Amino acid sequence: MSTDTSPQPAETVPPRVPAAKNGPGREHGEKKTGGVLNVFSHGVLVIWAILVVMPLLWAVMTSFKDDKSIFTSPWSFPSHLHFENWSRAWSQAHMSDYFLNTIIVVAFSLFGTLLLGSMAAYVLARFEFPGNRFIYFLFIGGMSFPIILALVPLFYVMQNLSLLNTIPGLIIVYIAYSLPFTVFFLTSFFKTLPTSVAEAAIIDGASHTRTFFQVMLPMAKPGLISVGIFNFLGQWNQYLLPTVLNTDPNHKVLSQGLVALATSQGYKGDWSGLFAGLVMAMLPVLAAYIIFQRQVVAGLTAGALK
């Protein structure tokens, strides 16, 4: 990138003469604008940081208030901390069930996505065979199409297979819709790995399958972690797929459970319980993000930087 375009700045900046004229004076002026710019940029950056953090802090604060003060004084601090909101949300409002369902679904679908995705990607990256390109583009084509269009017939496909409104059905669909990006990402990752190690394993008598599981997968660990984080967040936060394909109240996952909760708590007027549920769902992900910040950012931006 940089080699093609390095002459760019010199060509495109016309006012050369004034710059050459006032050498030392310009240096002084520059420093001043640097300072003004610095204050300005900090100002702008702080404002956006506040815009991001305030709604989140407000939710945390509200989750400790009683129902009346939520509406009478939305911005005041809670008179005392109503921890009972949290326990009510956890047990009575089924937050514990939603968490459990989400953990089960995401655990299986994440494992399945990484296993099937890496198998397909490995074959597509390392083996020449007729139809290789076609299958690869079939997979990555799925990244840019509106999913909702497929969901209408999919609903009935699932119904015919008796997979509608079941946890295994949801797991399979999560895997299928995570494959395009996973295959896209891991194919290019496997291409960057050296071929010599796998060849040595084959010469030593290992089968292709054994080479894949015992040699290539361990080597692909960084790529698996990146794409694993990407899929974990995508599947944990998934809303559209469960809304359409998983409407059984007993099988609801976190995001749709919260939306259902907003409706039902609305009738009961238990807003504080709802806020406790919201914050309960928010905090584990935020905490995990802060701890694994570097890996999460790398995982989520990895695809876009390619």
Partner 1 sequence: MQHGKYRFIVGFLIVPLAFYAIFVIWPFIQSIYYSFTNWTGLSPQFSVTGLDNYRRMMNDPTFWASFRHSVIYVLVLPVVVLAIALFLSFMLNVGGRRKKGAAVAGVQGSSFYKIVYFFPQVLSIAIVALLFQFLYNPDSGALNAFLDAIGLGGVQPEWLGDPGLALWCVMAVLMWSQVGFFVVLFSAGMASIPKDFYEAALLDGASRATTFFRITLPLLWDTVQSGWVYMGVLSLGAESFAVTQIMTVGPGGPADSTNVLSLYVYQKAFHSGQAGYATAIGVALLLVTLVFAAGVLRMGRRERLEF
Q: Which single residue is written with the structure tokens 């999919």?
A: 154
Site for partner 1 in 1-30 (CB under 8 A): 1-2, 4-6, 8-10, 12-13, 15-16, 18-19, 26, 30
Q: Is 103 in the site for partner 1 (CB under 8 A)?
A: no
Closest distance to partner 1 from the beta carbon of 114 (Å): 11
Q: Which is nearer to partner 1, 37 or 103 (CB)?
A: 37
How far apart, in whole angstroms, are the C-alpha atoms of residue 38 and residue 41?
A: 5
170-199: which residues touch partner 1 (CB under 8 A)? 172-173, 175-177, 179-180, 183
| 206 near partner 1 (CB under 8 A) | no
Our CB check for partner 1 shows the closer of 104 and 116 to be 116
Contact call for residue 127 and partner 1 (CB under 8 A)? yes
Rule CB under 8 A: choose which of 28, 48, 192, 194 binds partner 1. 48
Query: Smallest gap, in angstroms, from Cβ of residue 298 to partner 1?
Result: 9
Minimum CB distance to partner 1 smaller for 15 or for 24: 15
Q: How far apart are CA 135 and CA 131, in angstroms?
A: 6
Longest dimension (CA), the chain: 80
Footprint on residues 56-75 left by partner 1 (CB under 8 A): 56, 58-59, 62, 71-75
Q: Which residues contact 44 (CB under 8 A, 6 or more apart)?
A: none
Which of 77, 84, 155, 218 is close enough to bind partner 1 by CB under 8 A? 155
| Residue 255 near residue 137, CB atoms below 8 Å | no
H, E, C per residue of 87-118: HHHHHCCCHHHHHHHHHHHHHHHHHHHHHHHH
Region from 50-58, 77-85, 93-101, 188-196 binding partner 1, contact rule CB under 8 A: 50-58
**3 state DSSP class of 271:** helix
Question: Quick check: 200 binds partner 1 (CB under 8 A)?
Answer: no
Q: Among 81-89, 90-98, 111-119, 220-228, which window interacts with partner 1 (CB under 8 A)?
A: 111-119
100 is an interface residue for partner 1 by CB under 8 A: no
Token output for 56? 């989140």
184 in Cβ contact with 301 (< 8 Å): no
Which among 245, 244, 231, 239 is positioned nearest to 258, based on CA atoms? 239
What SS3 state is found at 238? coil
Among 114, 185, 236, 272, binds partner 1 (CB under 8 A): 236
Residue found by looking up tokens 């008598």 in the block: 205
Q: Which is nearer to partner 1, 83 or 137 (CB)?
A: 137
Unique residue bearing structure tokens 């083996």: 127
Tokens of 92: 């009575």
Q: How many residues bind partner 1 (CB under 8 A)?
A: 112
Q: Does 152 bind partner 1 (CB under 8 A)?
A: yes
How far is residue 295 CA from its own chain's centroid?
12
